[in-house]
Structure 1
Amino acid sequence: MTRRAVITGVGAVVPGGVGREAFWRTLSEGRTATRRITLFDPAAFRSQVAAEVDFDPAAAGLTPRQVRRMDRAAQFAVVSAREAVADSGLDLAALAPERLAVSIGSAVGCTMGLEEEYVTLSDSGRKWLVDHEYGVPHLYGYMVPSTLAAEVGREVGAEGPVALVSTGCTSGLDSIGHAVQLIEEGSADVALAGATDAPISPITSACFDAIKATTPSNDDPEHASRPFDGERDGFVLAEGSAVMVVEEREAALARGARIYAEIVGFAGRSNAYHMTGLKPDGREMAEAIDVALGQARLDPTAVDYVNAHGSGTKQNDRHETAAFKRSLGQHAYDIPVSSIKSMVGHSLGAIGSIEVAACALALERQVVPPTANLTTKDPLCDLDYVPVTAREHAMDVVLSVGSGFGGFQTAMLLARPGTAAAAAGRSTR
Structure 2
Amino acid sequence: MTRRTVITGIGVRAPGGSGTKEFWDLLSSGRTATRRITLFDPTRYRSQVAGECDFDAEAEGLTPREIRRMDRAAQLAVVCARDAMADSGIEPDALDPHRFGVSLGSAVGAATSLENEYLVLSDSGRKWLVDYDHLSPHMIDYLVPSAMPAEVAWTAGAEGPVTMVSDGCTSGLDAVGYARELILEGSADVMLTGASDTPVSPIVMACFDAIKATTPRTDAPERASRPFDRSRNGFVLAEGAAMFVLEEYEHARRRGAPIYAEITGYATRCNAYHMTGLKPDGREMAEAIRVALDESRQPGTAVDYINAHGSGTKQNDRHETAAFKRALGEHARSVPISSIKSMVGHSLGAIGSIEIAACALAIRHGVVPPTANLHEPDPECDLDYVPLTARERHLDTVLTVGSGFGGFQSAMVLRRLEGKAA
What residue is the counterpart of 2:328 in the other structure?
328
Please name the residue that 1:76 is paired with. Answer: 76
Q: Which amino acid aligns with 2:351?
A: I
In the other structure, the counterpart of 2:234 is 234
The letter for the 2-side match of 1:135 is L
Report the Cα distance in structure 2 between the residues aligned to 1:348 and 1:148, rounded to whole angstroms. Answer: 16
Residue type at the aligned position of 1:310: G
Q: Report SS of the residue matched to 1:11.
A: strand
1:184 aligns with 2:189: no
CA-CA distance at 1:23 after TM superposition: 0.5
Rounded to whole Å, the distance in 2 between the matches of 1:341 and 1:186 is: 35
Gaps of 5+ in 1: 423-429
Aligned equivalents of 1:289, 1:165: Cα separation in 2: 20
Q: How does 1:286-301 map to 2 (within 5 A)?
A: 286-301=286-301
The 2-side partners of 1:23 and 1:85 are apart by: 18
State the alpha-carbon separation in 1 of the partners of residues 344 and 146 from structure 2: 25
CA distance in 2, matches of 1:140, 1:58: 23
d(CA) in 1 for partners of 2:265, 2:418: 16
The one-letter amino acid of 1:267's match is A
Partner of 1:53: 53
In angstroms, what is the RMSD of aligned CA positions? 1.1
| Fraction of identical pairs, as percent | 69
For residues 100 and 50 of structure 1, the distance between their equivalents in structure 2, rounded to whole angstroms, comes to 35
How far has the Cα of 1:312 moved from its partner? Answer: 0.3
> Paired residue for 1:144?
144
Paired with 2:61 and 2:321, the residues of 1 have a C-alpha distance of: 42
Larger mean CA deviation between 344-353 and 247-256 belongs to 247-256
- Please state how far the C-alpha of 1:127 moved relative to its aligned partner: 1.1
Q: Which residue of 2 aligns with 1:202?
A: 202
Supply the distance in 1 between the matched residues of 2:65 and 2:78 (Cα, whole angstroms): 14
Partners of 1:46 and 1:107 in 2: CA distance: 22
Structure 2 residues not aligned, in runs of 5+: none
Is 2:306 the partner of 1:303? no
The residue aligned with 1:390 is: 390
Residue 86 (1) aligns with residue 86 (2): yes
* CA distance in structure 1 between the partners assigned to 2:26 and 2:208 by the alignment: 26
Aligned to 1:255: 255
Per the TM alignment, residue 18 of structure 1 is displaced from its structure 2 partner at its CA by: 1.6
Does residue 95 (structure 1) correspond to residue 92 (structure 2)? The answer is no
Runs of 4+ off more than 3 Å: none
Give distance in 1, aligned partners of 2:146 and 2:372. 34
Residue 394 of structure 1 and its aligned partner are, at CA, apart by: 1.4
Rounded to whole Å, the distance in 2 between the matches of 1:257 and 1:96 is: 17
Report the 3-state secondary structure (helix = DSSP H, G, I; strand = E; otherwise coil) of the residue aligned with 1:237: coil
Letter in 2 for 1:31: R
| Offset, 1:418 | 2.8
Deviations 1:245-277 (A, max 9, x none): 000001111111110000000000000000000
Partner of 1:351: 351
TM-score normalised by length of structure 2: 0.99
SS at match of 2:379: coil
The one-letter code sitting in structure 2 at the alignment partner of 1:283 is R
Aligned residues: 421
Partners in 2 of 1:16 and 1:374 — Cα distance?
Answer: 19
Q: Secondary structure at the match of 1:15?
A: coil
The amino acid of 2:70's aligned partner reads: M
* Match of residue 425 from structure 1: none
Q: Distance in 2 between matches of 1:148 and 1:227?
A: 31
| Residue identity in the other structure for 2:172 | G
CA distance in 1, matches of 2:146, 2:229: 37
What is the SS of the residue equivalent to 1:252? helix
Match of 2:216 in 1: 216
Residue 119 (structure 2) pairs with residue 105 (structure 1): no
